[in-house]
Structure 1
Amino acid sequence: MRYIRPLSMEDAVGQLAGSSGTAAILAGGSDLLVRMKGGFIEPDLILDIKAIDGLSEIRETAEGFSIGAAVSCALMGESAALKREWPGVVEAAKLIGSKQVQGRCTIVGNLCNASPAADSVPALVAAGAMALIAGPAGRRTVAVEAVPTGPGKTSLAKGEIIEAILLDRRAPRSGDAYLRFIPRTEMDIAVVSAGVNLTLDE
């Protein structure tokens, strides 16, 4: 098993595209490390993207927000601007695992894990979030719902990495929210969940 910690997205894409065997991307690791420890996967290459500039940042622009692939869910909960504009997205991110897990887990990892019970995905879909994908052919942007194709499967091609999640500025007179049903009161996987994003007219 090889462990590589690239310093640029170009290097990361090149390493991933040129790898043989199975490869895994390490951002938060809350899913990857559990699956490795349980013996479900044994990647030939682990690509740690946390040292890549900008991937651990939430950037606010005139168009909206860019949430880097290595931004933890806990960090999302600490962003006053993001909570003000997209409280439902932040609410969903803060329901993933425990406080300790939230310090590591990422919404990009939650999306790429492609679990039918992923908490952040319905809220992202409702918000119209887009995934910025870097790959050997350059960068492209797709709707987040186009990334998972089935349980544990995604539409990402060889060498492609989700660089960030993009959220537009919130429209006037609008709001979003996320709600899930779980058998227990805390720390459980959703049986069913719902995300909503509403904009009212005058």
Structure 2
Amino acid sequence: MESLQYYAPASLAEATQLLAEHKGSQVLAGGTDLLVQMRLGMKSPPALVDIKNISDIQQCGFTDSGELVIGAAVPCAQITESVAIAAKYPGLVEAAGLIGSTQIQGRCSIGGNLCNASPAADTVPALIANHAVCEIQGVNGSRQVPVSEFNLAPGQNCLAEGEFLVALRIPALSGSDSAGRVVGCSDAYLRFIPRTEMDIAVVGAAVSLTVDLDGQCTQACVAIGAVAPTALIVPEASQALVGTQLNESALISAGQAATRASKPINDKRGTAEYRKKVVAVLVRRAAVIAYQRALETFSD
């Protein structure tokens, strides 16, 4: 690894200035991907801008309005250990808990998992299913981008030169619908891997649901990973669940929609045909888990 400059700004303004002054520099959060890529010669930035000392990027919790804010440098272990987050977004916690080993989870950040733009990233479908939005900072100010639009291709995200991810924002869950009726919300994430631990997803599926007191699904969002260049929202799968109590017909339709939306590749972890079959199974299973969890919120 060649010599390079290292900076550890204490504010968003300072980080923005450093990135503007040092073209081609890389943002360092957990570094579990970036440092490996540098050692392999895949990346050779002239400078690293370590954002871990910036308080805005380390925040993790709920606002007074119920919005969940997760700073870009928050380690995945902090997500998995949060009882408050698990109570509302168990699927997101499941996804964060599947990344690497315990040691890696203490270092890797949820923001880095997104910015690395891997099609198989576990947290990305879970974030998409929960309608998460990226807060981005750059020399021209700040902007927001839905997580579903953040990654453009494998290894490529929408960040412009000098921009960096500040936080992820997940909208507050509502306890009632537009008509004032009580509803329950929850989510789930499942993946399939060749081994039992520490492997890259062959297929991932996240489902978030809202149900009413009659057990009818009133809102749904289905997102899938590792079956296309980027994680995908599957509107047809979501629509198949809405207006039902997740009967067999609805689940089959949702799974079939996920299969149709998939654009997988053949690689050493599985064939495209295999992935298309597995994604349907995972969507059905994740939907059932999310549905059961949503119903359980009525008794909490």
TM-score category, normalised to shorter length: over 0.9
Task: Verify: 1:51 aligned to 2:53, yes or no.
Answer: yes
Supply the distance in 2 between the matched residues of 1:57 and 1:137 (Cα, whole angstroms): 23
- Deviation string, structure 1 residues 156-202 (Cα, Å, up to 9, x no partner): 11111110000112233111010001111111100110010011133
Q: Percent identity?
A: 50
Task: Please tell me whether the aligned partners of residues 85 and 169 of structure 1 are also in contact (alpha carbons under 8 angstroms).
Answer: no
Supply the distance in 2 between the matched residues of 1:81 and 1:122 (Cα, whole angstroms): 20
Give the gaps of 5 or more residues in structure 1: none
Point out the more displaced range, 55-64 or 2-11: 55-64
Amino acid at match of 1:142: V
Pick aligned residue for 1:32 from 31, 34, 41: 34
Q: Which has the larger radius of gyration?
A: 2
Instruction: Show the 5 A alignment for 1:1-202.
Output: 1-20=4-23, 22-61=24-63, 62-172=65-175, 173-202=184-213
User: Larger helix proportion, structure 1 or 2?
Assistant: 2
Task: Please tell me whether the aligned partners of residues 94 and 188 of structure 2 are also in contact (alpha carbons under 8 angstroms).
Answer: yes
TM-score (norm 2): 0.65
Amino acid at match of 1:167: I
Q: CA deviation at 1:67?
A: 0.5
Supply the distance in 1 between the matched residues of 2:191 and 2:8 (Cα, whole angstroms): 36
Q: CA deviation at 1:70?
A: 1.0
Q: CA deviation at 1:2?
A: 0.9
Q: Please tell me the root mean square deviation across aligned C-alpha atoms, in Å.
A: 1.1
Supply the distance in 1 between the matched residues of 2:89 and 2:138 (Cα, whole angstroms): 28
Q: CA deviation at 1:94?
A: 0.9
Point out the more displaced range, 117-126 or 166-175: 166-175
Point out the more displaced range, 72-81 or 50-59: 50-59
Give the gaps of 5 or more residues in structure 2: 176-183, 214-300
User: Larger strand proportion, structure 1 or 2?
Assistant: 1
Amino acid at match of 2:195: R
Task: Please tell me whether the aligned partners of residues 86 and 170 of structure 1 are also in contact (alpha carbons under 8 angstroms).
Answer: no
TM-score (norm 1): 0.96
Supply the distance in 2 between the matched residues of 1:96 and 1:79 (Cα, whole angstroms): 16
Q: CA deviation at 1:80?
A: 1.4
- Deviation string, structure 1 residues 30-67 (Cα, Å, up to 9, x no partner): 11111112221111111100011232221311241110
- Runs of 4+ in structure 1 off by over 2 angstroms are none
Task: Please tell me whether the aligned partners of residues 66 and 173 of structure 2 are also in contact (alpha carbons under 8 angstroms).
Answer: no
Supply the distance in 1 between the matched residues of 2:82 and 2:66 (Cα, whole angstroms): 17
Name the SS for the 2:91 alignment partner. Answer: helix
